Amino acid sequence: MSEKCAATLQEMANDYTAFATIDIDADLKGVHETVEEMQLHLEEFISILGMLQAKGDKVITANMSRFLSLRPQVNQLCKRIDALDYFIRRVNIDLTILETNMEIIESTFNSSDKRYPMLNPFSVFLRSYFRKSQHLIYRH
């Protein structure tokens, strides 16, 4: 049995000797090179991201000042649009009142001649427009 143990020990010693003779530095050289290349590429990527972020910040600050300088003109345009919308609504109200009064007058004098559509030829379009716009305004 001792010879069998000695043979087994000798075999194990030979197996473990192979591990001791491995040149870890030579075997891991490729891994080290790959890791260094990855670090280099990551540093380049971080540098590119930094440049893009700096460029984006410059663009934002440059355009922000431009947008702020245009603000008075945009506000003026909004006021003009609101005034035009008010004017159109007022004209529609006045024409509706005028049409109603014309209908009353015609019915009073038993006139079958319907001339009031000539006063507001776009009344059909305006009514549908104002119904839609009032519906949208009241929904908000």
| CB < 8 Å & 24+ apart, contacts of 119-124 | 119/95, 120/95, 123/95, 123/96, 123/99
The one-letter code for the residue type at 95 is L
Distances (CA, A) of 124 to 31, 42, 57, 115, 116: 80, 67, 52, 15, 13
What confidence tens digit (pLDDT) does each residue in 28-62 have? 788 888 889 999 999 999 999 988 888 888 878 87
Tokens describing residue 49: 């991201």
Report pLDDT for 108: 84
> What global pTM score does this model have?
0.41
Instruction: Identify which has the larger pLDDT, 121 or 58.
Output: 58
Predicted local distance difference test score (pLDDT) of residue 140: 40
Name the 3-class secondary structure at 111. coil
Mean pLDDT over each residue of the chain, to the nearest integer: 79
* Range 11-17 average pLDDT: 78
